């Protein structure tokens, strides 16, 4: 081969890039995981490529595109579902039973060791390993850990400044009402709801504050951090208030001003006034120890005590409380107030959408555009389970929606 200049060599495509381009051409994953699979009857071992399942195009175009199409499909089929999905769990199989028996033996052993005052670290690790295997074998949920501490009791007192919502028993139905026109045509309308956080001060078109000095940065940051909790609380309140298991497909995105807002495709229809009531009555209280003023200056920080394995006050040498201890103290203090209260802003947008319409498609495209957070609630994915297989079986699972779909298929 004749000698090439460096410039000529640099122009030749890298093998890795060629491989990537071919993968994209064929619409397959550009960075699959290699997983070894052993047939437990024959002992034969093969290496299988499992697609990465990325949801971001920059990481893997084909996987992200597939994930987006799947989300659109899940959203489309779930939004206007007209029959209750079958959520009956399968009977546990032989492997699952065996693992569970193994776990029981280990837990028994650990309790005996603990009773004798011996170290249980090794057995604890084995229990955790079996738990992982149980999860891999398709068992949902977790078992109570003997070591687990009791849950800290938080104040459940309702805020005086928020209207109380009447509660109804929640019927086990997830499907919206059907309306019949005089000519016999049937409509099953659903909703597209957008919830937004409050204003923290005026912003310019690019989202930056007009007056940085008075802009509520702290409240904006805390609202953004705790937004998922607020959304959870909204769903909970909504179900208790309307009295049925309202389902939604939700995408959360940051607005230009970096405040979170959520788009919810809600199955079935609800009265606007009722929605407004639930939005107004929904809040999330953050019970943290006070964190507004620094307790130590940068030039005199707490010191690490290697012997006691904790930080100490640099002057008095007393141990600083751990996060858990600080929370316990807070829980015991009847005069404590939450460090932050999250609420939705006053602006709420609701649209009625009928199944199959152009409007529905447009909104679905909108919801599936965002990779940020896709929450998927029970039953949404039932009919698309099979579509999810083949790309989302991977360590750690994909977006929760895709993971659930694959597991149940």
- What are residue 36's DSSP bridge partners? 47
Interacting residues with Zn ion between 306 and 325 (CB under 5 A): none
Cα dihedral value 222, 223, 225, 230, nearest 10: 140
Binding pattern for the stretch 24-53 against Zn ion, x by CB under 5 A and - elsewhere: -----x---------------------xx-
Nearest to 398 by CA among 142, 70, 49, 61: 70
The candidate with the shortest Cα–Cα distance to 234, out of 256, 266, 257, is: 266
In the bound complex, what is the minimum distance in angstroms from residue 21's beta carbon to Zn ion? 14
The answer to whether residue 106 forms part of the interface with Zn ion (CB under 5 A) is no
Burial 30-53 (b: 16+ CB within 10 A, else e): bebeeeeeeeeeeeeeeeeebbbb
Which of 21-29, 38-46, 70-78, 129-137 is the region at the interface with Zn ion (rule: CB under 5 A)?
Answer: 21-29
CB 234 within 8 A of CB 279: yes
Nearest-CA neighbor of 348 among 259, 246, 278?
A: 278
Length of the chain: 409
Nearer to Zn ion, 29 or 278 (CB): 29
Count the site residues for Zn ion by CB under 5 A.
5
Which is closer to Zn ion, CB of 24 or CB of 327? Answer: 24
Beta bridge partners of 318: none
Instruction: Identify the H or E element spanning 260.
Output: strand 260-266
Tokens (6 digits) for 40: 């437990």
Task: Tell the smallest beta-carbon distance from residue 60 to Zn ion (Å).
Answer: 3
Closer Cβ to Zn ion, 30 or 281, answer by number: 30
Q: Which is nearer to Zn ion, 67 or 374 (CB)?
A: 67
> How does DSSP assign 353-388, residue by residue?
EETTSHHHHHHHHHHHH--SEEEE-TTTTGGGHHHH
CB of 399 to Zn ion, least distance (A): 13
Q: Which stretch binds Zn ion (CB under 5 A): 59-67, 109-117, 159-167, 291-299?
A: 59-67
Q: Which is nearer to Zn ion, 380 or 391 (CB)?
A: 391
Element holding 351 (H helix, E strand): strand 340-354
Q: How far is the CB of 199 from Zn ion (least distance, A)?
A: 40
Nearer to Zn ion, 43 or 396 (CB): 396
Q: Which is nearer to Zn ion, 66 or 76 (CB)?
A: 66
Which is closer to Zn ion, CB of 65 or CB of 198? Answer: 65
CB of 4 to Zn ion, least distance (A): 33
Query: Which of 57, 194 has the CB closer to Zn ion?
Result: 57
Of the pair 63, 330, the CB lying nearest Zn ion is at 63
**Residue 160: how many other CB atoms lie within 10 Å:** 5
Shortest spacing between CB 61 and Zn ion, in angstroms: 8
CB of 31 to Zn ion, least distance (A): 6
Nearest in space to 115 (alpha carbons), one of 138, 91, 146:
146
Minimum Å gap between C-beta 16 and Zn ion is 14
Binding mask 79-98 for Zn ion (x = CB under 5 A): --------------------
Which residues touch 278 (CB under 8 Å, ≥6 apart)? 165, 234, 237, 238, 241
Per-residue mark of binding to Zn ion, 213-242 (x: CB under 5 A) = ------------------------------
Tokens at residue 233, please? Answer: 């609380």
Least distance to Zn ion from the beta carbon of 398, Å?
10
Q: How far is the CB of 142 from Zn ion (least distance, A)?
A: 29
Residues 60-79 that bind Zn ion (CB under 5 A): 60, 63
Burial of 335 (0-12, 13-18, 19+ CB in 10 A): exposed
Binding site for Zn ion (CB under 5 A): 29, 51-52, 60, 63
């Amino acid at each position: 081969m004749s000698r090439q200049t460096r410039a000529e060599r640099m122009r030749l495509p890298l093998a890795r890039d060629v491989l990537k381009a071919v993968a994209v051409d064929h619409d397959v994953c550009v960075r699959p995981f290699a997983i070894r699979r052993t047939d437990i009857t024959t002992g034969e071992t093969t290496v299988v490529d499992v697609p990465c399942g990325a949801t971001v195009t920059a990481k893997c175009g084909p996987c992200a595109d597939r994930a987006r199409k799947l989300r659109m499909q899940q959203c489309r089929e779930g939004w206007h579902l007209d029959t209750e999905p079958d959520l009956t769990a399968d009977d546990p199989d032989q492997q699952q039973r065996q693992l569970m028996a193994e776990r029981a033996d280990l837990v028994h052993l650990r309790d005996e060791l603990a009773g004798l005052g011996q170290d249980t670290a090794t057995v604890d690790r084995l229990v955790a390993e079996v738990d992982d295997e149980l999860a891999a074998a398709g068992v949902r949920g977790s078992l109570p850990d003997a070591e687990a501490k009791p849950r800290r009791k938080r104040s459940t007192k309702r805020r005086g400044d928020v209207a109380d919502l009447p509660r109804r028993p929640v019927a086990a139905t997830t499907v919206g009402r059907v309306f019949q026109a005089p000519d016999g045509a049937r409509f099953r309308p659903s909703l597209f709801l957008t919830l937004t956080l409050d204003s923290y001060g005026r912003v310019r078109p690019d989202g930056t504050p007009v007056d940085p000095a008075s802009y509520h940065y702290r409240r904006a940051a805390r609202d953004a951090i705790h937004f998922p909790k607020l959304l959870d609380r909204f769903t909970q309140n909504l179900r208790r208030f309307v009295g049925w298991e309202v389902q939604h497909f939700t995408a959360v995105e940051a607005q230009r001003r970096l405040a979170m807002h959520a788009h919810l495709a809600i199955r079935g229809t609800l009265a606007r006034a009722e929605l407004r009531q639930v939005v107004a009555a929904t809040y999330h209280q953050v019970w943290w120890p006070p964190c507004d003023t620094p307790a130590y200056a940068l030039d005199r920080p707490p010191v690490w005590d290697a012997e006691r394995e904790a930080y100490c006050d640099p002057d008095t040498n007393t141990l600083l409380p751990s996060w858990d201890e600080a929370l316990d103290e807070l829980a015991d203090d009847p005069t404590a107030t939450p460090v932050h209260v999250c609420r939705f802003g006053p602006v709420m947008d609701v649209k009625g959408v009928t199944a199959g319409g152009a409007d529905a498609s447009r909104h679905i495209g909108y919801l599936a555009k965002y990779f940020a957070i896709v929450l998927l609630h029970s039953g949404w994915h039932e009919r698309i389970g099979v579509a999810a297989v083949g790309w989302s079986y991977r360590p750690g699972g994909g977006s929760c929606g895709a993971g659930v779909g694959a597991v149940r298929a």
